[in-house]
Amino acid sequence: MPHDHHHHHVPQGDGKLVAAVGVNLFLTVAQVVGGVISGSLALIADALHNLSDALALVIALVARKIARRPADAEMTFGYARAETVAALVNYTTLIVLALYLVYEALMGVISPEPVAGWIMVIVAGIALAVDLATAALTYAMSKTSQNIRAAFLHNLADALGSVAVIVAGSLILLFGWTIVDPIVTFAIAGYILWMSIAEIGGVIRILMLGAPDTIDTGNVVRDIAAVEGVDSVHHAHLWQMEEHRPALEAHVVIAAGRWGEADAIKGRVKDALQRVGIDHSTLELECSNHACTDPKVIGHRVSG
């Protein structure tokens, strides 16, 4: 029964992503046309970001499909990190896009162009509706997937950008403040940069084999050392195999005179690790009389 449920759920999520890609591509064309007609830099900036939304969703969809592939001789840990790589790509493109928008906004301040505010408001209003629909399609999946969260944040930033364009268009219509257009572009770029830099660190942490930020490596080592029958722990490595799967490998020294209980001690260590959320562990047991000489507690010595 669980097998059948799994295959029913996954295509449903993919279908939502495909629908989100379609509406975002349609919206991008509409925004570019509206931006060219109105002369609005902010609207064209929003359109470029919306195009990046569509591409982000395509990348997320492809990564989800790759991540489902089982482990093989070439990728012995499986393909789940494809989603982490996709998240890195999406956040990186967001940062590049934001820097480009800053450049365009500076040009808009130096050489301002006339802007048709009513076209800005109408097109941005349509964009906001589509952005909210896309966010609704991906919100639930974004809670459990770093990959989908990156695509979702693309879309959320675009929704806020649409709101900003509506405000700018209204101010241009009411007061003729065309300077608001590049100012809003700066604001959109600033938010995108802030959001992307805040999120990209966690993605890089996984790819750099960093320990999960929710688990303290020192505490894990102390928990193992406190297990009855354990003398000491060294060569400990704690990392994330994928977003929600922490893993640990370590050398565990069995106390003197207790080698006959090694299997039972190992079982107690595994139980201690599971209590802190580590289900995947590889433990090398060492007799206290033949343990590694002067080892590092965390990591291993680098020769050369």
The secondary structure of 284-295 as a DSSP string is EEEEGGGPPSS-
**Cα torsion angle, 274, 276, 282, 288, sign:** negative
Min mean pLDDT across 95-104, 156-165, 264-273 is at: 156-165
For 20-71, write each residue's pLDDT tens digit: 777 778 777 877 787 777 777 766 766 776 777 778 788 888 888 898 899 8
Assess contact for 254 and 288: CB atoms under 8 A.
yes
Q: Residue 296: which pLDDT band, with cuts at 50, 70 and 90? A: very high
Q: Residue 248: which pLDDT band, with cuts at 50, 70 and 90? A: very high
2-207 folds as Alpha-lytic protease prodomain-like (1.20.1510)
What pLDDT does 8 receive?
Answer: 37
Does pLDDT of 205 surpass 90? yes
Burial 97-133 (b: 16+ CB within 10 A, else e): bbeebbebbeebeeeeeebbbebbbbbbebbbebbeb
Does pLDDT of 237 surpass 80? yes
Q: Residue 142: which pLDDT band, with cuts at 50, 70 and 90? A: confident
What pLDDT does 230 receive?
Answer: 95
Q: Residue 100: which pLDDT band, with cuts at 50, 70 and 90? A: confident
How large is the average pLDDT for residues 184-199? 85
For 262, the 3-state DSSP assignment is helix
Same fold, 2-207 and 217-290: no
Predicted TM-score (pTM) of this structure: 0.74
Q: Residue 117: which pLDDT band, with cuts at 50, 70 and 90? A: low
For 143, the 3-state DSSP assignment is coil
Q: β-strand 245-254 against 230-242: which pairing, if any?
A: antiparallel
For 228, the 3-state DSSP assignment is coil
Which tokens hold the place of 258?
A: 């207790």
Instruction: Give the ranges where the chain is alpha helix by DSSP (H).
Output: 2-38, 41-67, 82-110, 117-142, 146-175, 180-207, 217-225, 262-275
Q: CA 248 to CA 301: how far, in whole Å? A: 17
Q: Residue 177: which pLDDT band, with cuts at 50, 70 and 90? A: confident
Does pLDDT of 219 surpass 90? yes
* pLDDT > 90 in the chain, percent: 30
What pLDDT does 249 receive?
Answer: 95
Between 285 and 110, residue with greater pLDDT? 285
Q: CA 53 to CA 254: how far, in whole Å? A: 54
Q: CA 132 to CA 123: how far, in whole Å? A: 14
Q: CA 141 to CA 60: how far, in whole Å? A: 11
Q: Could you tell me the strand order of the sheet in which 280-287 lies?
A: 230-242, 245-254, 280-287
Domain segments of the chain as ranges: 2-207, 217-290
Instruction: Pick one of 2.60.40.1220, 2.40.110.10, 3.30.70.1350, 3.10.129.10 as the CATH number of 217-290.
Output: 3.30.70.1350
Backbone φ and ψ for 126, nearest 5 degrees, come out as -65, -40
How large is the average pLDDT for residues 203-232? 93
Does pLDDT of 6 surpass 60? no
What pLDDT does 218 receive?
Answer: 93
How large is the average pLDDT for residues 64-86? 89
Nearest to 274 by CA among 299, 252, 232, 246: 246
Residue 213, amino acid: D
What pLDDT does 114 receive?
Answer: 65
Does pLDDT of 73 surpass 50? yes
Give whichever of 124-133, 180-189, 247-256 has the largest mean pLDDT: 247-256
> How many CB atoms sit inside 10 A of residue 143's CB?
9
The secondary structure of 16-82 as a DSSP string is HHHHHHHHHHHHHHHHHHHHHHHT-HHHHHHHHHHHHHHHHHHHHHHHHHHHTSPP-SS-TT-STTH
